[in-house]
Chain A
Amino acid sequence: MSEGLTRREAMGHAARGLAAIGLGVTAFHLIRKADGQIVWQLDHGRCVNSRLGAVGVNTCNLCTSECVVAQSAVRAVNDFSKCGRCYICPAYYNVTSAVDESGLPSEKLCPRDAITRTMIGDADPEDPANNFYEYVIDETKCDGCGKCVMGCKEPAGLGSIRLAVRHDLCVDCNRCAIAMACPDDAFTQASVEEAFERLETKGGT
């Protein structure tokens, strides 16, 4: 075989071989370093809305405004196991607004009216203040503006509402626009398992 090669062909083979080896070595190096599947996740322990400022102070809504998806892929999520099910929920009501006849704040906090409030459990209609209420976020309306996160956080609430990436809506941009804009680098890439772990626990700071 080799005696049939011209010098030109031999050099071509050599160059190709060298290039293939070079690419292969780099690829191998990267694969050794590589992780399985990576998704964008929001570390809510670092999210400005969960962490800083007082109730009613200007909310960081970069998750809403920066995401390339029309209605942001970030949504507010209520962790029901931590929800206080309050009579006057600081994430549902604007607690600084005027009180109406029934003694509840007149203004709702969500600008898109995405939270619904239902009475649950053994309800006593005579004494509404001592009942439990469930707050469910309508994901078709929510766009992750973070106002409710701001309202629910400690010490006003228990901090059960947090922002989370909806992985079925997230288009997994190579360069996540929110991550670029996030002031506290709360947006990071993580493996799927880690992302869900973060979602269920309180998250590190």
Chain B
Amino acid sequence: MIAAWRFTALVITILLSTTLWTSSAFGQPAPYDRPVDAAPQAKNIGGGYITPEVQKPLPRSYWLEVLDVALLAAAMILVSWLVLRRRNRAWLLLVTIASLAYFGFYREGCVCPIGSIQNVVVALTDPEYSIPIFVTAIFFLPLFMALFVGRAFCGGVCPLGAIQELVLLKPVRVPRRLDRTLGLLKYVYLALAIWYAAQPIADRDFVICRFDPFVSIFRRTGFAHMIGIGIGLLALSMFVGRPYCRYLCPYGELLSWCTRFASRGVTITPDKEIDCGLCADACPYGAIEKNRAVRKSCLYCARCYASCPRTGPMVPTVRSEAAASPDGGRS
């Protein structure tokens, strides 16, 4: 080791001295040799000098990460209560906005349960890899929730879902066949993510994170092409309901598998419903088939409840308007 350094030093000295010999003193490089062999300490320097600390910025506190997990769980419980019990979209929207602000723009969308798939895969395949408890928690919590109350995580907690949900203006109905075909992309993406994450460390790659379309928007910085893709996808989701969640999100696929066993879920209550089909029209995700909610693709937006003339709040508004004007307020 020391021999190697000595050799390098020798080479450098020879190189430097060669340059020196071939030049005159002024206007040429200064004669350079290492000025000191040891660092002078405060007592040698004198003059009341105090050695400054090494610049050492602290990372986020551990307890804040615990708080994150707690907030994630609380938000999911709140969402499932609002959707399944209260059937209330207005409050759900508030939770969605809060989640977007906190998990998206404040926590900058990382580590998210979607990306944590890869950490979990690596942890399972690579015995050397140690996964933080925090990441384990955020991977499994939404899955457990999905087993019991369905995809409450997608509904108002996931910042990627929230940003698409909030920009949705006028959903276009995607033809059922196209919808199903594009839905298969999720499996491809999931398989790719697992494949690349399971590689040995030199070839390992986290595809989901590399192509996360919204994380650069949350961070307001990043690679230009990813920002472009993010803005493009957002523009698309103004007219197609949550394209990332429905066609790409690999974690959504895991969640939808869990909802197959779920004991609760969004239901179009059969004894109260009138087959009017307004909920199916209101659902931007094509998750209502034959006037019944399809659990695995329901994203807990509660639009069906908001549009329902039986349970929803629409009835009194429309009725009183209709009674007030002879043409029924068709304008």
Question: A–B direct touch, CB within 8 Å, in complex?
Answer: yes
- Cα(A173)–Cα(B51), bound, Å: 34
User: Which residues of chain A are near B34, meaning CB under 8 Å?
Assistant: 84, 90, 155-158
User: Which residues of chain A are near B25, meaning CB under 8 Å?
Assistant: 99
Interface flag for B108 (CB, 8 Å): yes
- Select which of A37, A123, A155 is within 8 A of B132 by beta carbon: A37
Which B-chain residue is minimally distant from A169 (CB atoms)? Answer: B57
B115-148 Cβ-contact flags toward A at 8 Å (1 or 0) = 1101110011000001111101001100110011
User: Which residues of chain A are near B32, meaning CB under 8 Å?
Assistant: 88, 90, 95, 156
Which A-chain residue is minimally distant from B29 (CB atoms)? Answer: A96
A127-171 Cβ-contact flags toward B at 8 Å (1 or 0) = 000001010110100000000000000111110100010111111
A13-37 Cβ-contact flags toward B at 8 Å (1 or 0) = 1011001100100110011011111
- Cα(A34)–Cα(B116), bound, Å: 14
Interface residues on B, range: 35 or more
Interface flag for A98 (CB, 8 Å): yes
Which A-chain residue is minimally distant from B141 (CB atoms)? Answer: A27
CB of B219 within 8 A of CB of A171, answer yes
CB contact list, B233-291 vs A, under 8 A: 258, 260-263
Interface flag for A55 (CB, 8 Å): yes
- Select which of B8, B206, B262 is within 8 A of A54 by beta carbon: B8
Interface flag for B35 (CB, 8 Å): yes
Closest Cβ of chain B: how far from A57's Cβ, in Å?
10
- Cα(A167)–Cα(B57), bound, Å: 6
B17-57 Cβ-contact flags toward A at 8 Å (1 or 0) = 00100000111111010111011110001110101111111
Main secondary structure, interface of A, reads loop
Closest Cβ of chain A: how far from B67's Cβ, in Å?
13
User: Which residues of chain A are near B60, meaning CB under 8 Å?
Assistant: 167, 172
* Number of inter-chain CB pairs below 8 Å: 201
Which A-chain residue is minimally distant from B216 (CB atoms)? Answer: A68
Interface flag for B12 (CB, 8 Å): yes
Which B-chain residue is minimally distant from A119 (CB atoms)? Answer: B47
CB of A158 within 8 A of CB of B30, answer no
User: Which residues of chain B are near A97, meaning CB under 8 Å?
Assistant: 29
Interface residues on A, range: 35 or more
- Select which of A81, A98, A158, A180 is within 8 A of B27 by beta carbon: A98
CB of B221 within 8 A of CB of A77, answer no
CB contact list, B201-230 vs A, under 8 A: 201, 205-206, 209-210, 216, 219, 221-223
A86-110 Cβ-contact flags toward B at 8 Å (1 or 0) = 1110100001111100011100000
Interface flag for A3 (CB, 8 Å): no
CB of A15 within 8 A of CB of B261, answer yes
Seen from chain A, the residues whose Cβ lies within 8 Å of a Cβ on chain B are 12-13, 15-16, 19-20, 23, 26-27, 30-31, 33-39, 54-55, 68-70, 75, 77-88, 90, 95-99, 103-105, 120-123, 132, 134, 136-137, 139, 154-158, 160, 164, 166-175, 180, 185, 189, 192, 195-196, 199-200
Ordered by A's residue number, 23 sampled pairs between the chains whose C-beta atoms are within 8 Å are A23-B147, A37-B62, A68-B223, A69-B219, A70-B221, A75-B55, A77-B54, A80-B52, A81-B54, A84-B38, A86-B35, A88-B35, A95-B29, A96-B29, A98-B28, A104-B30, A134-B52, A154-B5, A171-B108, A172-B60, A174-B111, A175-B206, A199-B54
List the 8 shortest-distance A-B pairs measured between CB atoms, nearest first.
A175-B206, A167-B59, A121-B45, A155-B9, A84-B36, A175-B209, A121-B47, A35-B130
